Amino acid sequence: MTQGRLPRSRSDCEALDRADPLAGARAQFALPAGVIYLDGHSLGPATHGALARVEQAARAEWADGLIRSWNTAGWIDLPRSVGAKLARLIGVAAEDVIVADSVSVNLFKLAAAALPLAKSRTVIVEASEFPTDQYVADGLARISGAEMMRVEADQGLAALERTGGVLIRSIVNYRTSDILDVAAAERVARASGGVIVWDLSHATGVLDLKLAMDGTRLATGCTYKFLNGGPGAPAFVYAAGELAARLQSPISGWFGHADPFAFDAGYAPREGVSRFAAGTPGVLSLSALDAALDAFDGFALSDVAAKARSLGDLVIARAEAMGLEAISPKDAGRRGGHVSVRHAQGYAVVQALIARGIIPDFRAPDAMRFGLAPLYIRYVDVWDAMDQLADMLETRAWDTPAFHARAAVT
């Protein structure tokens, strides 16, 4: 959406919503009345299908089927079958994705497995990277004896080019929403003898990812943001087929064994990406995620990404008209599915918005993040939320002790 075509009124937004190719997706979500939910980049809302599936998995499969449901309800196959659904959303082969563990655990597993393949034993992470990625990099370096290299924002590729080490890097920055060129980065990695482990947490489900085409070899991501898998939903692992056989997971877990029910004392890894499975999967969470992913059926990811860009353009235009500074790229092609704007009292402003039924989130020290999940966010939602923000700033309605009091989760 160019500046000349930005909606100028709520009626313009209503017209865009009527023409939206994704309009039918919103009905799949169990959105509470009177709420505009702009925090799907942090925790996606429930879908009706996911809620029904959890009920079925708990009451029928668990309560009635008991342990038989590992076979009769297909629990044993969920990590791979759900992984196959995810594969379409990141542009890779179905057999190269498995659902397992958390992003933190998977980053450790992948980076540790990549170290023997890299030219140097150097673990690289940017100081602007999501904190857990930095913690994992530091912990892996200490345990393995590898060199830890923390560099400034956007200097990770330069460090990788110099060292040929292992770079842990998000495709979409969690604060700014800035997107890195994956294909260009992978060319740098190959030329240097290095390896990139990608964090897809703020990218999957909102970008039209084509990881195989871009030469991506290793990645993980969470499923509770734009994929709507539910709080604490399991993460996933992608390992390119031609590479997976050369990798050794540092966690030789039971579910990563080639024949777990042979109960052998010795460990033999499963073929391909499945070797990165570890402990027994959480069936209720996997079941919810399995159903939640159905919300993407029938919709083109190119339409999803295009709408996210357009909604972001609208947020930036309205925010800047209020005198707020956007720290997200104005170039929509370089921006993910959320927009961050600065305000010195951003935490209090966000709390005041939440009290009015507008739910974004806050990241210290001063970033208000507005998530633009295209399957259920409408143009009128963004327009109305920005109207409320403008009123909040004009009246200083945010400046009360209740809104300044910090909660544990921001």
Active site residues: 130, 199, 224-225, 369
Using DSSP's 3-state secondary structure scheme, residue 151 falls into: strand
Place of tokens 């509470």: 32
Using DSSP's 3-state secondary structure scheme, residue 348 falls into: helix
| 128 within 8 A of 309, measured Cβ to Cβ | no
Distance from C-alpha of 169 to C-alpha of 166, rounded to nearest angstrom: 10
Residue 51 DSSP one-character state: H
> Which own/partner pairs from 135-138 qualify as long-range (CB within 8 Å, at least 24 positions apart)?
135/104, 136/104, 136/107, 136/108, 136/111, 136/168, 137/111, 137/168
Beta bridge partners of 338: 371
| 243 within 8 A of 276, measured Cβ to Cβ | no
In terms of C-beta density within 10 A (0-12 exposed, 13-18 middle, 19 or more buried), how is residue 71 classed?
exposed
Q: Copy the structure tokens of residue 15.
A: 């017209």
Distance from C-alpha of 313 to C-alpha of 329, rounded to nearest angstrom: 10
Closest C-alpha among 356, 346, 355, 360 to residue 404: 346
